[in-house]
Every structure is written in structure tokens, then in C-alpha cells.
Amino acid sequence: MYSPIDIDREKLTIMGVRFPDLKTLDSAASAIGSNMFEGFQPTKKLIRLYLDYKMGKIKGSQFLAALKSAI
């Protein structure tokens, strides 16, 4: 079941995780929202992980390993 998450476009945050700009926040919100309709339940930890991957702070293999352990 879909339930809304906290997105603050003024503070550039999703569930309290700060994004560097509105474009990145909107892109992430769209991706997260689409996956929520498929049953994905986002957490602050998973949003932080996604942002780290998108910003190049972690590599794809690190992202997948962390994702597997987080779910």
C-alpha cells in the first residue's frame, strides 16, 4: 500500500535527508515514488544510500552490497 513520504522542497530534503539541489531531489523523489507503487518501503537509511550512489560517493557494487544488507 502506498503511503506518502516527507518531501520538503524548500529545505531540499526527503525524509530528513538533504539533497544538494532541487533537480537531484525531484529525480530521487520520482524514482522513489515509482518504486513505492511496486511495494518499496523507503527508509531514511535507504534514501541516504541512494543519494550517496547518485552523488558518486559509493560505487555500484558498494551500493548493491549495502542495499542487500539493508533490506
pLDDT digits (tens, 9 = 90+) for 25-44: 999 999 999 989 888 899 99
Confidence of residue 6 (pLDDT cuts 50, 70, 90): very high
Residue found under cell 552490497:
65
Residue 48 is predicted with a pLDDT of 95
Q: What is the DSSP string of 2-70?
A: -----EETTTTEETTEE-SSHHHHHHHHHHHHHHHTTT----HHHHHHHHHHHTTSS-HHHHHHHHHHH
Residue found under cell 507503487:
37
pTM: 0.85
Confidence of residue 12 (pLDDT cuts 50, 70, 90): very high
Residue 1 is predicted with a pLDDT of 60
Residue 2 is predicted with a pLDDT of 63
